């Protein structure tokens, strides 16, 4: 399989304009060596400090030692459906590769395998793997740190041929060295797309720069894969509100964000003409900074403007979005960088998504909310906003969900 990556025509034509604009607002220096969230919706002084560490000490101890004192019990875990992925092959309607459907398989936490619609019978569509973490612990090592309370639904070897691996940021629950080393050693070899600041990381894995693409916000690339139909798709790195760091000295030294993937429209002589598909992957993000742990703050709190910018830029909306809904308690410490379901629903509306699945829950015990609270609150918040049932929900780990391309945005009240 031959994969080629180039600048999109839009990025090429806008390069001079971006250079004239000078230092981007999210760069702290004239060169991209350190980053920040350039909006009032982010308050760095609310990130976890000593007081929060004391409050969360029992939970932190439990994560480090795998104690069962505050981890989800067996009855709770049993309520999270898990199955071995079929990648849609079990559905006779999807066996035809040109079914004009987006196929999304949730592999737990923030990991999805998405196959875009094919335009040729008998040939698969482009496949993109987001934030693959298959290790037992999301930690610098496998003897201490947060341990899975639900297993990965399959082995790395079970994942079918992929064209691209996409990384949202470098936290251990999103960027796993063991998983990436395995996947990037495959033949045929996928390319990997990650934020600025991760160049040396991939060099350390002996991945050539020609296969590891580290991008800035709004950078876009065209990917051509001879094994897929359509053969090309575009991928754009988009802003989000978060932070990075894998050790004590690298906080904010690499970038973070979400990703947009757009397939090419089918050629005139295609077996089944299809409109281009567009998907959004939110990675890990906050939406606003809530100043209290006891309430969710006033409606007048500043919200991250990046998501409405994304919605305006991709004005026809998204056929499918993957949006984080978990790891949000305690709110004062976590809200600047993690969406609660209320924020997730607002983000869904801001980007003009038609359908979405919630992620960033159900795998590791990272914060203090009950394991099943995120999907329950998501359902409640969607109902409050008048979003039609099923437009934004959750699925089982290992389940493949299909989405139509095109159509109207999900109805709902936007405030």
d(CA 134, CA 208): 23
Sequence-separated (6 or more) residues with CB below 8 Å from residue 146:
63, 137, 138, 139, 173, 364, 365, 366
Please classify residue 187 by burial: count the beta carbons closer than 10 Å to its beta carbon, then call 0-12 exposed, 13-18 middle and 19+ buried: exposed
Please classify residue 214 by burial: count the beta carbons closer than 10 Å to its beta carbon, then call 0-12 exposed, 13-18 middle and 19+ buried: buried
Contact call for residues 338 and 347 (beta carbons, < 8 A): no
Please classify residue 90 by burial: count the beta carbons closer than 10 Å to its beta carbon, then call 0-12 exposed, 13-18 middle and 19+ buried: exposed
Please classify residue 129 by burial: count the beta carbons closer than 10 Å to its beta carbon, then call 0-12 exposed, 13-18 middle and 19+ buried: buried
Which pLDDT tens digit goes with each residue over 230-251? 899 999 999 999 999 999 899 9
242 is in an annotated binding site: no
Q: Residue 274: its pLDDT value, please? A: 61
Cα 128–chain centre separation: 11
- CA angle at residue 256 from 252 to 262, to 5 degrees? 165
Q: Residue 265: its pLDDT value, please? A: 62
> Which among 14, 96, 39 has a CA at the least distance from the CA of 242?
39
Q: Residue 314: its pLDDT value, please? A: 96
Q: Residue 178: its pLDDT value, please? A: 97
Q: Residue 46: its pLDDT value, please? A: 64
201 is in an annotated binding site: no
Strand-pairing partners, residue 127, are 115
Q: Residue 291: its pLDDT value, please? A: 92
Low-confidence stretches of the chain (pLDDT beneath 70): 1, 46-70, 90-99, 265-274, 407-415
Q: Residue 67: its pLDDT value, please? A: 55
Per-position DSSP letters for 299-364, written without gaps between them: TTS---THHHHHHHHTTT-BSEEEEE-----SHHHHTTTS--HHHHHHHHHHTTBS-EEEES-SSB
Pairing relationship of beta strands 191-195 and 127-130 according to DSSP bridges: unpaired
If you search the block for the tokens 């990025």, which residue do you land on?
11
Contact call for residues 401 and 395 (beta carbons, < 8 A): yes
Q: Residue 264: its pLDDT value, please? A: 78
């Amino acid at each position: 399989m031959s994969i080629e990556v180039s600048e999109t025509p839009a990025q090429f034509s806008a390069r001079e304009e971006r250079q004239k604009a000078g230092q981007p607002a999210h760069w702290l220096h004239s060169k991209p060596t350190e980053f920040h969230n350039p909006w009032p919706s982010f308050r760095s002084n609310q990130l976890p400090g000593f007081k929060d560490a004391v409050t969360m000490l029992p939970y932190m101890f439990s994560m480090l030692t795998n104690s069962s004192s505050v981890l989800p019990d067996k009855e709770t875990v049993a309520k999270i459906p898990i199955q071995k992925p079929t990648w849609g092959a079990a559905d006779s309607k999807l066996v035809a590769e040109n079914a004009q459907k987006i196929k999304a398989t949730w592999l737990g936490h923030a990991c999805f395998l998405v196959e875009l619609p094919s335009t040729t019978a008998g040939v698969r569509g482009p496949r993109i793997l987001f934030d693959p973490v298959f290790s037992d612990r999301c930690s610098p090592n496998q003897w201490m740190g947060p341990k899975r309370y639900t297993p990965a639904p399959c082995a790395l070897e079970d994942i079918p041929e992929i064209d691209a691996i996409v990384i949202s940021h470098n936290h251990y629950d999103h960027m796993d060295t063991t998983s990436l080393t395995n996947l990037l050693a495959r033949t045929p070899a996928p390319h990997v797309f990650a934020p600025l600041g991760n160049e040396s990381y991939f060099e350390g894995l002996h991945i050539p720069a020609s296969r590891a693409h580290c991008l800035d916000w709004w950078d876009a690339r065209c990917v051509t894969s001879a094994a897929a139909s359509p053969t090309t798709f575009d991928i754009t790195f988009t802003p989000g509100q978060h932070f990075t760091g894998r050790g004590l000295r690298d906080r904010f030294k690499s970038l973070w964000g979400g990703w947009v993937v757009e397939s090419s429209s089918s050629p005139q002589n295609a077996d089944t003409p299809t409109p281009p598909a567009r998907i959004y992957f939110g990675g890990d993000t906050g939406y606003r900074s809530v100043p209290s742990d006891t309430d969710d703050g006033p409606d007048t709190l500043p919200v991250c403007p990046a998501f409405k910018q994304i919605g305006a830029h991709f004005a026809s909306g998204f056929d499918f979005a993957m949006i984080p809904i978990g790891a949000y308690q305690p709110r004062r410490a976590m809200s600047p960088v993690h969406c609660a379901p209320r924020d997730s629903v607002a983000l869904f509306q801001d980007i003009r998504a038609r359908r979405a699945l919630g992620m960033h829950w159900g795998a590791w015990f990272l914060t203090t909310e009950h394991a099943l609270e995120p999907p329950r609150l998501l359902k409640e918040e969607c109902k409050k906003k008048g979003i039609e049932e099923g437009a934004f929900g959750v699925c089982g780990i290992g389940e493949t969900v299909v989405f139509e391309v095109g159509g109207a945005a999900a109805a709902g009240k936007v405030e």
